[in-house]
Amino acid sequence: MEITSHIVDTPPRDAATVLMLREGEAGMEVLLLKRHSASKDLGGAFVFPGGKRDDADGTPEALASLHQDLAVLHAQLGEPDISHAHAGSLFKAALREAQEECGLQLDSSDIRPWSRWITPRMPSMMSKRFDTRFFLARAPASQTAIQDNHETTEILWTTPRNALLRYWEGGIVLAPPQIISLSHLCIFNSVAQTLSDAATRRPPLIQPESFDQEGIRIICYPGDPDHPVAEKVLPGPSRLHFRNKRFEPEGGLAELLHGKL
């Protein structure tokens, strides 16, 4: 994992990501896809299915295929400053990316807005900035997730806890949004509980701040003393340090797992 220090001043591009969930023998599992090692950004890292919003996602035909009132979807997204059509296009992007990247076909009623992440001006691991809406979905029991063997080369169904354990042991590579999101998922016991929680709140906005301190890259989140937003919006660590060739919180693995080692 290499860290960059370049500044990106271009506006963040809209994107959508889906956290695909299912019940497994050891508890709730989430789907991770391994990025192709030749990928310019996050090559070899495990990510959630997702990608940038395309112009085609906002056409009348694309929006009509959602089969839901755009005002309802807009209200779920919790972003009053954008139009109904813009909100609908983000749902469409999430559905399209899920089908393209892991072969799962979903409807807009199957996904629930979860969080919103905006890449900082110093991305650390990326060459571009994105305004990414994270959605939750229960994976259809009648369908099988597969990698596309183009952008992704491997699939991994795992509990959020085991994903973080494997990351800590060096078995997989994760980027900060995945680390924090997996830590968030660790507080839930089932798919139903996770989806229910998402339905009762507005998706939190996470705008990470990255900076160097004593030669160490730090990324902090709302609620951290060095973040401009004082209120904490997610459980788990409020900052990650780049140490041992990976991002980790000050409290180590225990902080990611909420003290449940």
Mind listing the pLDDT tens digit for each residue in 66-113?
989 999 999 999 999 999 999 999 999 999 999 999 999 999 999 999
Across 75-107, b (16+ Cβ under 10 Å) vs e yields ebbebeeeebebbbbbbbbbbbbbbbbbebebe
Q: Is the pLDDT of residue 218 over 80?
A: yes
Distance CA 105, CA 173 (A): 27
pLDDT score, position 60: 97
Please give the tally of structural domains in the chain. Answer: 1
Q: Is residue 218 part of a domain?
A: yes
Q: Is residue 261 part of a domain?
A: no
Q: Is residue 49 part of a domain?
A: yes
Could you tell me the CA-to-CA distances from 212 to 3, 161, 208, 227 in Å, in that order?
A: 11, 29, 13, 14
Range of the domain at 250: 13-256
Q: Is residue 74 part of a domain?
A: yes
pLDDT score, position 4: 85
Q: Is the pLDDT of residue 2 over 80?
A: no
Dihedral over Cα of 193, 195, 201, 207: its sign: positive
Q: Locate the DSSP E strands across 65-207.
A: 111-118, 130-138, 152-158, 205-206
Q: Is residue 5 part of a domain?
A: no
**Confidence category of residue 153, pLDDT binned at 50, 70, 90:** confident
pLDDT score, position 159: 98
Are 101 and 148 in contact, with CB atoms under 8 Å apart?
yes
For the domain that residue 169 is a member of, what is the CATH number?
Answer: 3.90.79.10
What average pLDDT does the chain have? Answer: 94
pLDDT above 70: percentage of residues in the chain: 99
